Amino acid sequence: FYKVNFDGSALELLSEESANHIIDFNNKSGYFIDQYSSINQPQITMLKHIDHLPGKKLIQADVSSLVKLGWTDPEYFSAFAADNKTTVYGAIFKPSYFDQNEKYPVLDFIYPGPQSLGLRDHSFGHESFGQVNSIVELGFVIVIIEGRGTSERSKLFHDYSYGQLEDNGSIEDHIHVIKNISKTRPYMNIEKVGMYGHSGGGYSTANALMKYPDFYSVGVASSGNYDNLEYNSRWGEKYQGKVSDEIYSDQATRNYVSELKGKLLLIHGDMDDNVYMYHTLRLAHELIQNNKDFDMLIIPEIEHSPVDSETSLKSWKYFWRKRWDYFVQHLLDEIPPANFGL
């Protein structure tokens, strides 16, 4: 958040803290409310002035109860992308009982956009991060990587995925980064790497399991738009380009089903009115036609995202448990407890 003269001179930063800022500005007084946080900084609300008059802290979130439960801050990192020159950013999430002398399977949580980020707005909280704080407690390390093609950086960076949504968010960047950061983090067991994601992240997960089967061995792909020729045009055409056989020939996941080697679970709600269940059923058809082993769960009466009803919540909890179980069984090589209630 800056102030600047109309002629472009005297540009001055007002949101000095390294965090995500939400600003509520009063035009008359020059005062503004600055609410800021990051994934490892709980929210602070400050009263500030554009002329740097003394500010006042109004509220600071109290996370002492979280700390007592074992909360540990995620680790921010930067690394080179697969081109070895572009810097990308990410975060590592670890269990509360983390021991650097132990080995942990690695899960790559992906939401590649291109309209938003896996870490969303980098604010403090767990809702946007694919349940990472719950899943790591099962015995995993989770990474979130904002590869080339994700949003909120330069146009050149964002355009990387344009016209090649099958590699949206650059799965090559994810693999390159995981391999490199594990060299200084020996607790990361990159012989056991899985991926999961929802919607566009489900699409990327299925693609990763099929296009990079020697790296990703387990995946849970939910509600994926596996062919953007048959998805919402305001998303597909915006990021893939106008419809043509040439541009859309490579982006459908079914093109890669013959390469699947690992364990793949497809999940979809039958009331999804954003990404229709047809996407998962057609992909399942292609997997069957190629005689590929996979798992599928169709959940009745759930939509694309949770809604506020008891029935929906029970169904989503079932979905979350099945995702947990799949990774416990196929990456930890353990038998999950039957009928575990959330």
pLDDT value at residue 130? 66
Q: Mark whether 120 and 36 lie in a shared domain.
A: no
State whether 159 and 297 are in the same domain.
yes
Query: What range defines the domain where residue 135 resides?
Result: 69-330
Tokens 């707005």 correspond to 121
Residue 107 has pLDDT above 80, yes or no: yes
Average pLDDT over residues 267-282: 96
pLDDT at residue 60 in the model: 94
Per-residue pLDDT of 292-305, as tens digits, reads: 999 999 999 899 98
Q: Contact at 8 Å (CB) between 225 and 181? A: no
Domain termination residue (choose one: 21, 43, 61): 61
Both 18 and 148 in a single domain? no
Same domain, 56 and 75: no
**What is the arithmetic mean of pLDDT over 243-262?**
92
Check whether residue 218 and residue 298 sit in a common domain: yes
In a domain, 341, yes or no: no
229 and 126, same structural domain?
yes
Helical H segments across 14-146, by residue range: 64-68, 132-135
Give 113-145 pLDDT, tens digit per residue: 777 776 755 667 655 556 888 999 999 999 999
Confidence band, pLDDT 50/70/90 cuts, at residue 209: very high
86 within some domain: yes
* pLDDT tens-digit map of 25-45: 988 899 999 999 888 888 999
Whether 102 and 190 share a structural domain: yes
Q: Are strands 31-38 and 41-49 parallel, antiparallel or unpaired?
A: antiparallel
